[in-house]
Structure formats: C-alpha cells, structure tokens
Amino acid sequence: MTETIKVEVCYALPAKQELVSVKLPAGATLAQALEASGLLLKYPEIDLKKNKFGVYAKLSKPDAVLRDRDRVEIYRPLIADPKEVRKQRAAEGKIMKKGAGDTDASEG
C-alpha cells in the first residue's frame, strides 16, 4: 500500500473562502496539490507563474514537497501596496492633528 498524505488547499476570495481537502501520495508537491484540488480549473485567474503560494502563511514554491496535514494557500495579487497605504494614512493623520487644536476661543 502506498503511503498517502492529506492536504488542504485554500483560496480566499473577497466574499468567500474555498477550502478543498485532497489525498496525495507521500512526497507530493505544492503544484500537485493545486492540480488535485480542482481550483486551477474553477478559477482560471490562478496562474502558477504569477500567483504566490504558501504553506501555513510561509511563502513556498510550486515544487515544495508537502507533509501530511499541510495547508496550501493561494495568494491573490495585492490591490494596493501596503507601504503606500501606510504613507497615505500617516499623511492624513498629520493633517488631522494640525487642525485639531484650531478652536476659536470667542465661540461658545
């Protein structure tokens, strides 16, 4: 009997999460888990060359060998650069702080 491993493949969409459990032969790779999950067919926007993948939130390559009970994650491209968003928030915060102390003492 060939040893098998059980792996979950997860793809988070804005409105829902797809989670598929697959059984694979021991020594299977991340790419084989993706193929076996059927998610590549269901979501043609997933591209092995462009998307990033991970195992338990740690970036992994498609040829990474999986272990029993691993969770393969398919990451979507970022819509906005997190560094840029933080810069914008910081700039907005400075503007708000400058204006916060400008109350007119003659009012009230």
Q: What are the CA-CA distances from residue 13 to residues 18, 26, 50, 53 (Å)?
A: 8, 29, 17, 14
Model pTM above 0.85: no
- What the block records as the tokens of 92 is 């907005």
In the chain, how long is the greatest CA-to-CA distance? Answer: 87
Between 105 and 58, name the one with better pLDDT.
Answer: 58
Please determine, for residue 106, whether its predicted confidence score (pLDDT) is greater than 60. Answer: no
| Closest C-alpha among 1, 38, 5 to residue 23 | 5
Q: Is residue 50 part of a domain?
A: yes
pLDDT category of residue 83 using cuts at 50, 70 and 90:
confident
Q: Is residue 60 part of a domain?
A: yes
Q: Is residue 92 part of a domain?
A: no
Q: Is residue 20 part of a domain?
A: yes
Which segment, 29-33, 88-92, 98-102, is predicted with the most confidence on average? 29-33
Across residues 47-75, what is the average pLDDT?
Answer: 94
Sign, CA torsion 88/89/90/94: positive
Please determine, for residue 1, whether its predicted confidence score (pLDDT) is greater than 70. Answer: no
- Give how many domains the chain has, as a whole number: 1
Q: CATH number, domain at 56?
A: 3.10.20.30
Q: Is residue 27 part of a domain?
A: yes
The pLDDT score that the predictor gives to residue 50 is 87
Range of the domain at 12: 4-82
